[in-house]
Structure 1
């Protein structure tokens, strides 16, 4: 039983004839006739009496009519519900790296909540090495990550949003700070960049201190403890106010970028699509 046949039947009753129904539905009158014949054939009962130029419901047609109306109305209700579901709503769990959660995500979340109040946001701060597993296990819906440009995972959709500038930072009053390297743990991409820079520039340092947090490294640089490399957006204010010294590292060492990541087999919900669009929109103003 085809829905279009039921719609045609319902319209004939409402409009009072085949011709008017054809005009309303933008069908040829012959198509309307075919629809009715197909429906009568399937039901094995006549639905209309054709007397002269007028049509009347048979007893069978009268009995069937309310069911046809219910089916068509239920379909329209379901279609309307699906269209309403295009609006962002429900839960959205986002994984973010520590440095991103401190500097970039707050303004994004504030704007998102303003635009889409029906979405319940949940934020999980994860290390880079944990992001992939969380996406594959379904623990998070999507992630914002600072990673190397060569980052690749065949199970993930990885979209670069913005290349990030990297700065070599040191205290204003170096003293013994030139002898101390402030580094991240192995799981962070900044460690490999720092090591590559030190090797290429043939820098000798007596001490290396490892930290799990880029923010902790910045505070140690401010305190005069040592030197390191950090994303420019994390030290922009301190450089502008001359609280620390810094120089941009050549492109050979700045292969980092901000990425949006999700599992390639995960259907993008309206809430996810809205977040991706907002992220791209806001990234245009980063660095201004």
Structure 2
């Protein structure tokens, strides 16, 4: 079995389409098709269900993708080990939820000290980021702490504790009125959304309308315009609250207290670039310049 076959298989599984995978890999489509067929012949089993809209993994394909991810990750890790030195170099891929208020300081401090590291940042919701770290798509990620971040294959570092608040526009309102407003949330898998759902469940409230919005900016802009209510860290909006642009409503600690943690794989070789990133996190915990005055 050629390692390149696994790279191609992994990309087709990700894109669910031969043409898109070929474009990403910069291969001709016929070459990708031939490689997949050869892999299926070698393993004597179909790896994809093919249909008009694309391709999905068969049960056997799902088994193989697990091994392919691990093998490819180990090869990449081997390259990092061979190239690694005390002075960080190379690529470091980090994920984050959108509301890590300290992140600009962390990134700035790290970049100034380790300019040779090619640092990339991916945003998403907690559930997706945890999955990407576990499946070797990211070196580490900032997520909201929960039972999934305590996965046995992960190690986590507490970054700080947040207080979640209900945020409405500046029109006077009560908690009972808030319960009837449309909820503006990140997509499923968001830790803040899970906490809000707990509170609503315990209050025996079924929301009349839940609106999933893609970015923090869109959510906040929609709150300011009176569209609905959201549930996010107080640190993100306290300057707006101080200027009278919004109202923040507190809930009991059971629903409002939540940790932001940094996770990475427990068994993976920890490169100098990742080690120094974790060191930078710990240094920034002592910094008192947060939150940013212009957010």
TM-score (norm 1): 0.62
Q: CA deviation at 1:275?
A: 0.9
Residue number in structure 2 paired with 1:99 = 99
> Which runs of structure 1 show a deviation greater than 4 angstroms over 4 or more consecutive aligned residues?
174-178, 201-205
Q: How does 1:220-231 map to 2 (within 5 A)?
A: 220-231=222-233
Q: CA deviation at 1:257?
A: 1.2
Residue number in structure 1 paired with 2:210 = 208
Q: CA deviation at 1:189?
A: 1.6
Cα gap change, 1:208 to 1:165, in 2 (>3 Å) = same
Residue number in structure 2 paired with 1:87 = 87
Query: How far apart, in 2, do the equivalents of 1:199 and 1:136 lie?
Result: 30
Q: CA deviation at 1:150?
A: 6.9
Query: How far apart, in 2, do the equivalents of 1:123 and 1:222 lie?
Result: 28
- Unaligned 5+ residue runs, structure 1? 1-81
Query: Which of 261, 267, 270 is 1:268 aligned to?
Result: 270
Q: CA deviation at 1:127?
A: 2.7
Residue number in structure 2 paired with 1:3 = none
Cα gap change, 1:284 to 1:166, in 2 (>3 Å) = farther
Cα gap change, 1:284 to 1:89, in 2 (>3 Å) = same
The answer (yes or no) to whether the contact 1:112–1:275 under 8 Å persists in 2 is yes
Cα gap change, 1:138 to 1:210, in 2 (>3 Å) = closer
- The CA RMSD over aligned residues, in Å, is 2.7
Q: CA deviation at 1:265?
A: 0.8
Secondary structure of 1:185's partner? coil
> Which deviates more from structure 2 when the two are superposed, residues 151-160 or residues 210-219?
210-219
Residue number in structure 1 paired with 2:246 = 244
Query: How far apart, in 2, do the equivalents of 1:93 and 1:205 lie?
Result: 37
Residue number in structure 1 paired with 2:184 = 182
The answer (yes or no) to whether the contact 1:149–1:256 under 8 Å persists in 2 is no
Secondary structure of 2:99's partner? helix
Query: How far apart, in 1, do the equivalents of 2:162 and 2:147 lie?
Result: 10
Q: CA deviation at 1:90?
A: 2.3
Query: Which of 280, 283, 292 is 1:281 aligned to?
Result: 283
Query: How far apart, in 1, do the equivalents of 2:142 and 2:285 lie?
Result: 12
Q: CA deviation at 1:204?
A: 6.9
1:136 pairs with 2:163: no
Residue number in structure 1 paired with 2:155 = 157
Q: CA deviation at 1:94?
A: 1.1
Q: CA deviation at 1:138?
A: 2.1
The answer (yes or no) to whether the contact 1:94–1:141 under 8 Å persists in 2 is yes
Residue number in structure 2 paired with 1:173 = 171
Cα gap change, 1:246 to 1:149, in 2 (>3 Å) = farther
TM-score (norm 2): 0.61
Cα gap change, 1:132 to 1:198, in 2 (>3 Å) = closer
Instruction: Describe the superposition over 1:61-108 as per-residue Cα deviations: whole angstroms up to 9, x where unpaired.
Output: xxxxxxxxxxxxxxxxxxxxx9x92122222111122333xx432222
The answer (yes or no) to whether the contact 1:183–1:194 under 8 Å persists in 2 is no
Rg larger for: 1
Cα gap change, 1:126 to 1:196, in 2 (>3 Å) = closer
Query: How far apart, in 1, do the equivalents of 2:147 and 2:258 lie?
Result: 5
Secondary structure of 1:221's partner? helix
- Unaligned 5+ residue runs, structure 2? 1-81
Q: CA deviation at 1:116?
A: 1.3
Cα gap change, 1:238 to 1:194, in 2 (>3 Å) = same
